Amino acid sequence: MAIGPGNRPIAAPLHPLIRDTRQPLSWRPGIAIEVEFAVELGAELPYRLRKNYSRAEIEAAVGGIYLGVEIIDSRLIEGSNSPFELFLADSLANAGYVLGPQVPREFLMGDGPALTVSAGAQLLYRGQANHPSGDPLTPLVAYANDPSDQLGGLRSGQIVTTGSLCGVISPQASTQIDITLNGVHVMQLDMTANPEGESEKASG
């Protein structure tokens, strides 16, 4: 979920959703990751015609908050530089989402925790886990008030992610990714080389 052209909220499926962080992930040149917060909705958010949801109402509908890693691998040669409608049809370059451990609710408020992402001895990111909009719930609030899927709103049990906390990270080889929050190791991923190499991509 994100804010798209014209400041309109947009969304695309997270597929596959991987709940077992021990499962090896395929790596090949061009694959990238984004560390994010994901929320699991604990209540229905049907579309309202006359009254917008407040941020407090959206936060109250959140049943759980998780650390997650989105796998970025566009099926298009031009990737995010493709025409927007084509990039949206590409699920915004989503190639899977790894749902990590639950994290404290206060991570949605104010300054995010200290975040580090490393590959072996190589530090890939160190800084605050801050959402680009300053609030991880901003895209979710916007989408609940202006859904583009015409499906009647958001459902209890849905997993929603709203953007990177560290930008796009591109591991340069198969590796083990380690993630810490406030100095505590919370998530590990094993990215294994894909023997098939570069997949076929479409041109926009």
pLDDT digits (tens, 9 = 90+) for 14-68: 999 999 999 999 998 889 999 999 999 999 999 888 899 999 999 999 999 999 9
| Within a domain: 55 | yes
* pLDDT exceeds 80 at position 151: no
Residue 124 lies in a domain: no
Query: CA nearest 18: which of 63, 70, 65, 62?
Result: 70
Angle (nearest 5°) at CA 166 between 10 and 195? 85
- Tell me, yes or no, whether 119 lies in a domain: no
Residue 147 covered by a domain: yes
Number of domains in the chain: 1
Rounded distance, CA 19 to CA 22, Å? 9
Residue pair 34/170 in contact (Cβ under 8 Å)? The answer is no
pLDDT band at 204 (very low <50, low <70, confident <90, very high): low
Q: Is there a domain that residue 145 lies in?
A: yes
Q: What's the pLDDT at 147?
A: 76
Instruction: Report yes or no on 187 lying in a domain.
Output: no
Question: In which band, very low, low, confident or very high, does the pLDDT at 183 lie, cut at 50, 70 and 90?
Answer: very high
Domain enclosing residue 141, as ranges? 2-111+132-167
Instruction: Label residue 22 exposed, middle or buried (CB < 10 Å: 0-12, 13-18, 19+).
Output: exposed
Residue 95 has pLDDT above 90, yes or no: yes
Predicted pLDDT at 102: 96
Confidence of residue 198 (pLDDT cuts 50, 70, 90): low
Rounded-to-10 torsion of CA 125, 123, 81, 39: -50
- State how far the alpha carbon of 128 is from the alpha carbons of 14, 19, 37, 131, in Å: 25, 25, 13, 9
Domain for residue 40, yes or no? yes
In a domain, 138, yes or no: yes
Q: What is the domain-level CATH number for residue 138?
A: 3.90.850.10
Average pLDDT, the chain: 90
